[in-house]
């Protein structure tokens, strides 16, 4: 049966961030993920994890100015130093929080820079991060994001993410496969997951259209979750969606999978 982790950047947002850990535990989750934990001290987050017994299974590398619309800086040639500093900061957080995988967001391609330069920067940054994380026993992930929600995002398909990983050539670089983003961009979810299972370290889910709970849109999640079991996926499934009517009210989709 899939193991589900609550994304606390999108679920239980009716509460202050640090109170969401207790809410996730009360709702029956055993693990959580966070997009960007850096507005809070690692010590405070660690205390919430300890008090609730939750495991933090994923957070992102620093991603630039999120409030201003930035969604990562890994492809930005003029921000390599900032990226590397962010890797060190992320490793410090992950070590304190017991998190063994970090996700890298490529970012929106800056105007006026050639694709070759952007790709070269991304490859260099991924190689640096993969080595730095490996030394700390942490996996590096890279994620493809749809260009409808984030126009200009530099890595938007599974094929692109895999090609980057192949060029980097690190045994410590894996894919974060977000079913919502990939349904928008390419579909064919089940065969893609099976074909590239050895390279996929983390899966995230939301339905489309709307990016709401599984079962509210066009993706057959009953089939997809059973498929993950059939193919032997052993990672976590991150619930990174926008609840339509409050988090607790929308958790009925999860009940059949908890009772197996």
Query: What pLDDT score was predicted for residue 257?
Result: 81
Would you name the residues annotated as active-site residues? Answer: 143, 240
pTM for this model (two decimals):
0.96
Domains and CATH numbers, the chain: 3-243 (3.20.20.150)
Hunting for tokens 């304190």 — which residue is that? 96
Give the per-residue pLDDT at 1. 76
- What is residue 260's predicted lDDT score, i.e. its pLDDT? 56
For residue 31, the model assigns a pLDDT of: 98
Per-block mean pLDDT, blocks of 10 residues, the chain (260 long) = 94 97 96 98 98 98 95 98 98 98 98 98 98 98 98 98 97 98 98 98 97 97 96 97 93 80
Provide the token pair at 122: 């991304």
Q: Is the separation of the CB atoms in 239 and 27 below 8 Å?
A: no
**Positive or negative: CA dihedral 192, 59, 94, 66:** positive
- The helix (run of H) or strand (run of E) holding residue 182 is helix 179-185
What is the enclosing helix (H) or strand (E) of 227?
helix 221-231
Among 76, 63, 70, 147, residue whose Cα is nearest residue 118? 76
pLDDT at position 255 is 87
What's the CA dihedral at 208, 62, 247, 47 to 10 degrees? Answer: 150
Alpha helices in 20-141 (DSSP H): 20-26, 42-52, 80-97, 115-134
Q: How far apart are CA 20 and CA 27, in angstroms?
A: 10
pLDDT of residue 259: 54
């Amino acid at each position: 049966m899939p193991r589900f982790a609550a994304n606390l950047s999108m679920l239980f947002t009716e509460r202050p961030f640090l109170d969401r850990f207790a809410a996730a535990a009360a709702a029956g989750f055993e693990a959580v993920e966070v997009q960007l934990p850096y507005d809070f001290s690692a010590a405070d987050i660690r205390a919430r994890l300890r008090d609730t017994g939750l495991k933090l299974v994923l957070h992102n590398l620093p991603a630039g100015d999120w409030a201003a619309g930035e969604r990562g800086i890994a492809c930005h040639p003029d921000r390599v130093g900032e990226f590397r500093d962010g890797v060190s900061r992320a490793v410090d957080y992950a070590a304190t929080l017991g998190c063994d995988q970090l996700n890298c967001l490529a970012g929106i391609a800056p105007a006026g820079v050639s694709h070759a330069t952007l790709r070269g920067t991304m490859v260099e940054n991924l190689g640096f991060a993969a080595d730095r994380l490996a030394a700390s026993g942490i996996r590096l992930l890279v994620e493809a994001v749809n260009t409808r929600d984030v126009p200009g995002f530099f890595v938007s398909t599974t094929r692109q993410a895999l090609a980057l990983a192949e060029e980097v050539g690190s045994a410590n670089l894996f894919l974060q496969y977000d079913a919502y983003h990939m349904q928008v961009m390419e579909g064919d979810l089940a065969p893609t997951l099976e074909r590239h299972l050895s390279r996929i370290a983390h899966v995230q889910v939301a339905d489309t259209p709307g990016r709401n709970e599984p079962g509210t849109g066009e993706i057959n999640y009953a089939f997809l979750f059973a498929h993950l079991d059939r193919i032997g996926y052993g990672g976590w499934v991150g619930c990174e969606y926008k609840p339509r009517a409050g988090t607790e009210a929308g958790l009925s989709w999860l009940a059949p999978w908890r009772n197996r």
